[in-house]
């Protein structure tokens, strides 16, 4: 199957084309980071995107036209705007949102927006794998029809990333392997991602079961708003008391409902987001460890290193060296 992604800046300058190289760095005046794409098996592919843009950058997707492909975008951070044939209007995707879509042509365009780094995982699924993995499951109607091989008009459906999906996405973005081991690891994680997504409603808002019951829908929306506000203040976070006061509930209840809905306490989510951003700044931006520690809100480098080791399994310096070694090995394999 053929696939191509053309990366343009606002003046339509072609920055990169993916493939021929399945994994490329994107060094330019307006776009820095990494993009990776490969077919896991016929009809099932994954694309990993970790970039920072200083002004809007366009991704033009050219998909295989011999078999319709259902696409799913999972946006952990950043923002993008989609333009899809057969689907009216712009599709704005914000961080922690998902977009499942089936265009009526084998193409699509996405504008990456400046500001926060764009961290995204995309999955492409043909009818064959969809029938194998999804047929007979309780799914939203257009996705069920696609998996069943029935006539399916173009559609787009947005939702939210739940805590279990977020955990799998973080593992995909932080894959520690290279070569064949990387392919095996990514295949397992993509299948896990599909399984978790199919087990949850599309909006990703179903809370995890808890001993004290589940928050009601208005409470869930309020919790999402509180979480978004917390993520905006990584280096100067509000106290638990301030968060509880904003929610109009006790601190104990706030913690309980955060765990039920997101799988972690407010402090746990904040720490996870800080470390995900730190990994991006260290690996993709090449910033010094001390500077990164300060940028994500750690006063002492030792505390940052300990937290980084707990999250990613090794201290920052060793992690950076291994990632750079994996990148060099991958580039050598592509050159050969």
Query: Where are the domains positioned within the chain?
Result: 4-203, 207-263, 281-336
Mean local confidence (pLDDT), 77-103 = 84
Extract long-range pairs of 26-31: CB within 8 Å, 24+ residues apart.
26/51, 29/54, 30/54, 30/55, 30/57, 31/7, 31/57, 31/112
Rg (CA), the chain: 20
| CB-CB neighbours of 304 under 10 Å | 23
Token couple for 176: 């520690």
Mean local confidence (pLDDT), 247-262 = 84
% residues pLDDT > 70 (the chain): 79
Q: Of 89, 84, 13, 106, whose CA–CA distance to 55 is shortest?
A: 13
Q: At residue 286, does pLDDT exceed 80? A: yes
Q: Please, is 12 exposed, middle or buried when counting C-beta atoms within 10 Å of its C-beta (0-12, 13-18, 19+)?
A: exposed
Q: SS3 helix, strand, coil % of the chain, rounded to 5?
A: 40, 25, 35
Q: Of 142, 141, 140, 138, whose CA–CA distance to 154 is shortest?
A: 142
- What number of H helices and E strands is found in the chain? 11, 13
User: Which residues 6+ apart lie within 8 Å of 234 measured at CB?
Assistant: 270, 273, 274, 277, 296, 297
Q: At residue 217, does pLDDT exceed 50? A: no
**Which pLDDT belongs to residue 213?**
45
> Is the CATH code 2.60.120.10 the one for domain 4-203?
yes
Q: At residue 7, does pLDDT exceed 70? A: no
pTM of the model: 0.59
User: Which residues 6+ apart lie within 8 Å of 268 measured at CB?
Assistant: none
Most confident of 15-19, 111-115, 240-244: 240-244
Q: Would you state the CATH architecture of domain 207-263?
A: Orthogonal Bundle (1.10)
Token couple for 161: 């990333």
Residue 19 to residue 154: CA distance in whole angstroms: 26
pLDDT single digits (tens) 30-71: 777 888 888 888 889 898 888 888 878 888 877 766 678 899
CA atoms within 13 A on the CB side of 65: 8
Residue in this structure with the two tokens 């053309």, named with its chain if needed? 6
Q: At residue 278, does pLDDT exceed 70? A: yes
Q: Of 12, 78, 21, whose CA–CA distance to 51 is shortest?
A: 78
Burial of 18-44, coded b for 16+ CB within 10 Å and e otherwise, reads: beebbbbebebebbbbbbbbbebeebb
Residue 169 to residue 150: CA distance in whole angstroms: 30
Q: At residue 329, does pLDDT exceed 50? A: no
């Amino acid at each position: 199957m053929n696939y191509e992604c053309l990366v343009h800046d606002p003046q339509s300058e072609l920055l990169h084309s993916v493939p021929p190289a399945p994994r490329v760095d994107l060094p330019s005046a307006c776009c820095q980071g990494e993009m990776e794409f490969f077919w896991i098996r016929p009809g099932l592919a994954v694309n990993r995107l970790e970039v920072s843009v200083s002004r809007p950058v366009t991704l033009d997707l050219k998909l295989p036209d011999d078999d319709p492909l259902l696409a799913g975008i999972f946006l952990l951070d950043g923002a993008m705007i989609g333009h899809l044939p057969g689907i009216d209007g712009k599709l704005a995707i914000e961080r922690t949102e998902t977009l499942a879509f089936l265009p009526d042509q084998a193409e699509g365009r996405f504008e990456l927006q400046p500001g926060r780094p764009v961290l995204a995982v995309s999955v492409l699924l043909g009818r064959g794998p969809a029938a194998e993995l999804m047929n007979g499951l309780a799914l939203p109607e257009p996705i069920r029809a696609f998996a069943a091989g029935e006539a399916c008009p173009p559609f787009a459906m947005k939702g939210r990333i739940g805590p279990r999906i977020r955990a799998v996405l973080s593992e995909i973005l932080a894959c520690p392997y290279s070569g064949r081991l990387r392919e095996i690891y990514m295949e397992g994680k993509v299948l896990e991602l599909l399984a978790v997504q199919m087990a949850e409603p599309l909006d990703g808002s179903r809370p995890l079961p808890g001993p004290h019951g589940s928050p009601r829908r208005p409470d869930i929306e309020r919790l999402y708003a509180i979480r978004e506000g917390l993520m905006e203040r990584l280096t100067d976070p509000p106290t638990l008391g301030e968060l509880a006061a904003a929610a109009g509930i006790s601190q104990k209840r706030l913690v309980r409902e955060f765990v039920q809905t997101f799988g972690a306490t407010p402090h746990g989510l904040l720490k996870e987001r800080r470390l995900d951003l730190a990994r991006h700044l260290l690996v993709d931006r090449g910033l010094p460890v001390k500077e990164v520690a300060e940028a994500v809100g750690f006063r002492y480098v030792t505390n940052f290193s300990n937290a980084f080791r707990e999250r990613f399994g090794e201290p920052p310096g060793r992690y950076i060296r291994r990632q750079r070694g994996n990148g060099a090995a991958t580039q050598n394999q592509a050159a050969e």
